Amino acid sequence: MAKSSARPVHEIRMGRIKAAIWENETQTGVRHNVTVQRIYKDERQEWQSSDSFGRDDLPLLAKVVDQAHDWIYQQTNQS
């Protein structure tokens, strides 16, 4: 399956920072991975994304990643 057709099982967004949580079936059970992006509008006012973060992005990045960890932990405890 192409990555572009896959959908995250959960997304968390705070301001310009977004985390996507992906579910992967393995031989030992379900595992989760997280990708994090900063979204912004370019000079043409079109939405773009980057995996680079500036100093002022770091507090939100930490919060989003913490929430992603909490969500994955809750899913693990439910199964």
Q: List the pLDDT tens digit at each of the 79 positions of the chain.
A: 344 568 999 999 999 999 999 999 999 999 999 999 999 999 999 999 999 999 999 999 999 999 999 999 999 888 7
Candidates 64, 47, 72, 54; CA nearest to 13 is 64
pTM score, whole prediction:
0.85
pLDDT of residue 55: 97
Contact 23, 34 (CB under 8 A): no
